[in-house]
């Protein structure tokens, strides 16, 4: 088949799948008259094995209630089924089943699209919403600063892609068999110690993050047969440029990072994605903060990972307010497995390796730490010598500085046949799909305690592992994963961080080397390194749809439209299955389609950060490092952190009332009126003036003030902080612009 024909047919099929998925999701239900879509199967007349389409449609229609109209018929099937889809009431469906020709009539179920899944999970569909208005990110350039890239992967093919825009001035350092193309338009190696070698990946990170941000549609992606579907990034029509700053010899050097950001700005990128960081630092000592400030001065959006040091507080990296700081959340897909005990108890968990030939027969069960040796409990190399694990299922604790694969190899070498990995308390209910070296399952902290209790309760404990494959539809998703770093910010407590959370757990994307002997290679990995490129891709979509929006406007749109509830309609949870607090979620979980229509934005120009930086106490020369010109704070009207026109409030509250202002820019309908809605934090009083704002034109600005009033300390109880929100609700259609509020009690 010719390539062009293949691409057209692929696009058509994908569009059809998305369309059907959207129809299924909408459930075709009319609450006014209790109509919903039913799938009806009928007996085809034996005397008429073939029927023309029109006649078949009319025959199907003859089964419908006489009072109904033809608009009730949704689809007439000819090849895939003998039957039709129709809108009926439950009573009409029951009556239909009384007809001899009707085999079945059941309500339509909601199906999930089988892809890397995060686009579908985030509501991105071809032909509708943000993917439609941005043309999948066409014309936007994403610069990924990472470990290099494997350019041969089909996720970076350029079939049907136009050349890069004229502003692109970058270079490609690949030569020989493969150079860059209209997808991967640039690739540079900034590691001087690498002897100027091409920017191929040798650290297994950059290929994955690049594909998450902007990978093309590639069918039949999976790992060990799991998560089967079509791999695709957030902005599949965006151009990519890779800047290699890390390798396995020298790590990620500060000089290379600064050089990469410098070159990327010159090259003409629109978005920079950095899944790396240095921990909390003063902004003037943080190369990413410095480079990012130069980027936003040039209109470049910067997205960075929050770090993987959670769940403890104040563990963030990349805290500067001109950076989008991204935490990690779960998706509704699990690669499921369970630990099944001899007493009948079963504890759910996950495993990427799902061996089909593993016997369900119960085997002897042993806890590696039963000898009281902490190193043995972690199944560390050399510490199972005195533990009888031969032919047994071995319980190992997670931790000790070694990976799950290393622990599995230790168990395997000692004669164990399977492994149950038990979470520490800090990981709670967060589990991960890992490519183990033997049959294994990772279970929660609570499950681990129960399994160990069972072992101690009997002289002959037994267990096996039940592998359940890919399961979609976890109503608790998104949830904040245990490792996602938390605020409050140490570098600037008056700015709420992280800004947002996005998919970062069990993410399938391109990989440089096969983990399951299949080509092209994919892998499923977790980390805020994965959530960052998701948001980079979303930012690229928004930049394509709204090319006049500033980096701050894009950030505001993402934050003020974020979701605060999970798929089950309950508050987003954390690894303890308790409601996640504001220092875990920031504004909430990204909702790309809502971000495309925020209504109002909090905009910030680069010079607006100077009074803020002066207020933080930086010296003139230090601020000069960031803004690259001479600054005198003595001639600037200094502002406190919370006065920055940020799309959130972070208040450090003492005994005095505090006043702040915010300015909103109208990017929605020209004429609109909004009223304020407050969720007042614990032990606080609040007032907003004015409480109603009206716009008469697009891009009009309106300023409002907020008063934060402390109440008596006894009302705080044992709480060290509180949270709430300030929302502007559009009168005409209840469109909401939500601003989160954190209050830290001094």
For residue range 239-257, what is the model confidence (pLDDT) as tens digits? Answer: 999 999 888 777 888 888 8
The catalytic residue positions are 146, 205, 529
| Letter string b/e over residues 321-349, b meaning 16 or more CB atoms within 10 A of that residue's CB | bbbbbbbbbbbbbbbbbbbbbbeeeebbb
Q: What is the pLDDT of residue 3?
A: 34
pLDDT-derived band at 78, boundaries 50, 70, 90 = low
Q: Is the previous residue joined to 478 through a cis bond, with omega within 30 degrees of 0?
A: yes
Q: Which CATH class is domain 28-107?
A: alpha beta
Q: How many residues does the chain have?
A: 746
> Which of 15-29, 120-134, 147-161, 613-627 has the least mean pLDDT?
15-29
Residue 270 has pLDDT above 50, yes or no: yes
Q: How far is CA 106 from CA 22, 56, 86, 92, in A?
A: 19, 21, 10, 12
pLDDT-derived band at 167, boundaries 50, 70, 90 = very high
**H, E, C per residue of 521-537:** CEEEECCHHHHHHHHHH
Please say whether the beta carbons of 604 and 644 come within 8 A.
yes
Q: What's the average model confidence in pLDDT over 422-434? A: 96
Give me the percent of the chain exceeding a pLDDT of 70: 90
Q: What's the average model confidence in pLDDT over 24-28? A: 30
Element (H, E) at 103: strand 102-107
Please say whether the beta carbons of 212 and 234 come within 8 A.
yes
Q: What is the pLDDT of residue 87?
A: 85
Q: What is the pLDDT of residue 247?
A: 83
Contacts with 337 (C-beta within 8 Å, 6 or more apart), sequence order: 348, 349, 350, 351, 354, 441, 465, 466, 467, 468
Q: What is the pLDDT of residue 179?
A: 79
State how far the Cα of 281 lies from the Cα of 292, in Å rounded to an integer.
14
Q: What are phi and psi of 544, to 5 degrees?
A: -70, -40
Q: What's the average model confidence in pLDDT over 585-589? A: 99
Residue 740 has pLDDT above 80, yes or no: yes
Task: From the options 3.40.1280.10, 3.40.50.620, 3.90.1150.10, 3.50.30.30, give the CATH code of 334-472.
Answer: 3.50.30.30
Residue 444 has pLDDT above 80, yes or no: yes
Q: What's the average model confidence in pLDDT over 139-143? A: 98
Please say whether the beta carbons of 143 and 533 come within 8 A.
no
What are the residue boundaries of the structural domains of the chain, listed by start?
Answer: 28-107, 118-331+478-595, 334-472, 600-604+645-745
State how far the Cα of 533 lies from the Cα of 554, in Å rounded to an integer.
15
For the segment 645-697, what is each residue's pLDDT rounded down to a tens digit?
999 999 999 999 999 999 999 999 999 999 999 999 999 999 999 999 999 99
Q: What is the pLDDT of residue 456?
A: 96
Residue 47 has pLDDT above 70, yes or no: no
Rounded to the nearest integer, the mean pLDDT of the chain is 89
Please say whether the beta carbons of 266 and 236 come within 8 A.
no
Contacts with 68 (C-beta within 8 Å, 6 or more apart), sequence order: 92
Fold of 118-331+478-595: Rossmann fold (3.40.50)
| Letter string b/e over residues 502-538, b meaning 16 or more CB atoms within 10 A of that residue's CB | bbbbbbbbbbbeebbeeebbbbbbbbbbbbbbbbbbb
Residue 336 has pLDDT above 60, yes or no: yes
Residue 9 has pLDDT above 60, yes or no: no
More confidently predicted of 48 and 83: 83
State how far the Cα of 281 lies from the Cα of 34, in Å rounded to an integer.
58
DSSP for 20-63 reads HHHHHHHTT-BTTTTBEEEEEEEPPPTT-S---HHHHHHHHHTT
Q: What is the pLDDT of residue 285?
A: 87
In angstroms, the first-to-last Cα distance of the chain is: 69
Q: What is the pLDDT of residue 237?
A: 98
pLDDT-derived band at 75, boundaries 50, 70, 90 = low
pLDDT-derived band at 50, boundaries 50, 70, 90 = low
pLDDT-derived band at 27, boundaries 50, 70, 90 = very low
| Letter string b/e over residues 639-673, b meaning 16 or more CB atoms within 10 A of that residue's CB | bebbbbbbbbbbbbbeeeebebebebbbbbeeebe
pLDDT-derived band at 470, boundaries 50, 70, 90 = very high
pLDDT-derived band at 54, boundaries 50, 70, 90 = confident
Task: From the options 3.40.50.740, 3.40.50.2300, 3.40.1190.20, 2.60.40.2310, give the CATH code of 600-604+645-745.
Answer: 2.60.40.2310
Query: In the numeric block, which tokens belong to residue 99?
Result: 């007809």
Please say whether the beta carbons of 745 and 716 come within 8 A.
yes
State how far the Cα of 203 lies from the Cα of 209, in Å rounded to an integer.
12
State how far the Cα of 245 lies from the Cα of 362, in Å rounded to an integer.
49
For the segment 479-527, what is each residue's pLDDT rounded down to a tens digit?
999 999 999 999 999 999 999 999 999 999 999 888 888 888 999 999 9
For the segment 95-110, what is each residue's pLDDT rounded down to a tens digit?
999 988 888 887 753 3
Query: In the numeric block, which tokens belong to residue 462?
Result: 């037994």
pLDDT-derived band at 114, boundaries 50, 70, 90 = very low
Q: What's the average model confidence in pLDDT over 24-32? A: 34
Query: In the numeric block, which tokens belong to residue 558?
Result: 């993402």
> Which of 23-37, 271-285, 639-653 has the least mean pLDDT?
23-37
State how far the Cα of 409 lies from the Cα of 412, in Å rounded to an integer.
5
How many other CB atoms are there within 10 angstroms of residue 7's CB atom? 15
State how far the Cα of 235 lies from the Cα of 140, in Å rounded to an integer.
9
pLDDT-derived band at 703, boundaries 50, 70, 90 = very high
Q: What is the pLDDT of residue 46?
A: 63
State how far the Cα of 510 lies from the Cα of 210, in Å rounded to an integer.
8
How many other CB atoms are there within 10 angstroms of residue 372's CB atom? 7
Strands (E), 568-612: 600-601
Q: What is the pLDDT of residue 34?
A: 79
> What sign does the CA torsion over 199, 434, 482, 330 have?
positive
């Amino acid at each position: 088949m010719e390539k062009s024909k293949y691409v057209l047919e692929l696009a058509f099929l994908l569009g059809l799948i998305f369309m059907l998925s959207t129809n299924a999701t909408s459930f075709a239900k009319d609450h006014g008259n209790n109509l919903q879509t039913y799938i009806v199967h009928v007996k085809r007349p034996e005397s008429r094995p073939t029927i023309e389409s029109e006649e078949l449609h009319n025959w199907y229609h003859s089964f419908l209630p006489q009072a109904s109209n033809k608009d009730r018929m949704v689809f007439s099937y000819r090849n895939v089924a003998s039957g039709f889809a129709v809108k009926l009431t439950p009573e009409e469906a029951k009556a239909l089943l009384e007809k001899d020709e009707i085999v079945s009539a059941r309500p339509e179920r909601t199906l999930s699209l089988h892809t890397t899944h995060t686009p579908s999970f985030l509501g991105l569909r071809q032909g509708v919403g943000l993917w439609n208005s941005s043309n999948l990110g066409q014309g936007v350039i994403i610069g990924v600063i990472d470990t290099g890239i494997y350019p041969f992967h089909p996720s970076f093919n350029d079939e049907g892609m136009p050349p890069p825009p004229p502003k692109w001035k970058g270079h490609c350092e690949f030569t020989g068999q493969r150079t860059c193309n209209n997808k991967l338009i640039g690739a540079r190696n900034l590691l001087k110690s690498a002897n100027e070698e091409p920017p191929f990946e040798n650290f297994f990170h950059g290929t994955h993050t690049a594909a998450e941000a902007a990978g093309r549609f590639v069918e039949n992606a999976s790992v060990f047969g799991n998560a089967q579907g079509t791999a695709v990034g957030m902005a599949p029509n965006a151009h990519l440029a890779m800047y290699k700053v890390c390798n396995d010899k020298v790590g990620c050097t500060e000089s290379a990072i600064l050089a990469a950001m410098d070159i990327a700005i010159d090259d003409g990128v629109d978005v920079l994605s950095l899944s790396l960081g240095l921990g909390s630092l003063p902004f003037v000592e943080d190369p990413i903060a410095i480079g990012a400030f130069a980027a936003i001065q040039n209109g470049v959006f910067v997205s960075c990972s929050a770090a993987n040091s959670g769940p403890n507080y104040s563990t963030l990296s990349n805290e500067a307010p001109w950076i989008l700081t991204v935490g990690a959340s779960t998706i509704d897909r699990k690669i499921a497995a369970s630990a099944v005990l001899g007493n009948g108890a079963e504890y759910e968990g996950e495993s990427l390796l799902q061996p089909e030939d593993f016997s369900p027969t119960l085997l002897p069960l042993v806890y590696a730490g039963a000898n009281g040796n902490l190193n043995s409990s972690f199944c560390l190399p050399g510490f199972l010598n005195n533990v009888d694990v031969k032919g047994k299922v071995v319980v190992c604790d997670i931790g000790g500085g070694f990976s799950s694969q290393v622990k599995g190899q230790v168990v395997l070498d000692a004669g164990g046949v399977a492994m149950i990995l038990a979470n520490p308390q800090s990981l709670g209910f967060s589990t991960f799909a890992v490519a183990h070296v033997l049959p294994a399952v990772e279970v929660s902290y609570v499950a681990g305690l129960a399994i160990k209790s069972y072992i101690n309760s009997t002289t002959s404990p037994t267990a096996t592992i039940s592998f359940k494959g890919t399961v979609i539809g976890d109503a608790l998703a998104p949830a904040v994963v245990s490792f996602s770093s938390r605020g409050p910010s140490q570098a600037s407590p008056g700015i709420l961080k992280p800004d947002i959370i996005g998919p970062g757990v069990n993410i399938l994307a391109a990989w440089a080397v096969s983990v399951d002997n299949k080509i092209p290679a994919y892998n499923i990995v977790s980390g805020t390194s994965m959530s960052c490129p998701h948001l980079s891709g979303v930012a690229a979509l928004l930049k394509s749809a709204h090319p006049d929006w500033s980096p701050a406007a894009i950030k505001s749109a993402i934050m003020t439209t974020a979701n605060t509830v999970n798929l089950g309609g309950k508050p987003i949870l954390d690894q303890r299955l308790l409601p996640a607090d504001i220092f875990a979620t920031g504004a909430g979980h990204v909702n790309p389609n809502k971000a495309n229509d925020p209504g109002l934005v909090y905009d910030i120009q680069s010079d607006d950060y100077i009074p803020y930086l002066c207020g933080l106490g930086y010296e003139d020369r230090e601020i000069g490092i960031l803004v690259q010109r001479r600054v005198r704070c003595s001639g600037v009207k200094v502002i406190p952190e919370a006065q920055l026109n940020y799309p959130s409030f972070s208040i450090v509250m003492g005994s005095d009332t505090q006043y702040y202002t915010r300015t909103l820019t109208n990017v929605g309908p020209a004429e609109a009126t909004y009223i304020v809605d407050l969720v007042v934090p614990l032990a606080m009083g609040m007032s907003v003036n004015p409480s109603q704002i009206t716009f008469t034109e697009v891009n009009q600005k309106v300023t409002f003030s907020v008063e934060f009033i402390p109440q008596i300390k006894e009302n705080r109880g044992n709480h060290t902080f509180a949270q709430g929100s300030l929302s502007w609700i559009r009168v005409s259609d209840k469109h909401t612009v939500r601003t989160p509020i954190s209050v830290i009690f001094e």
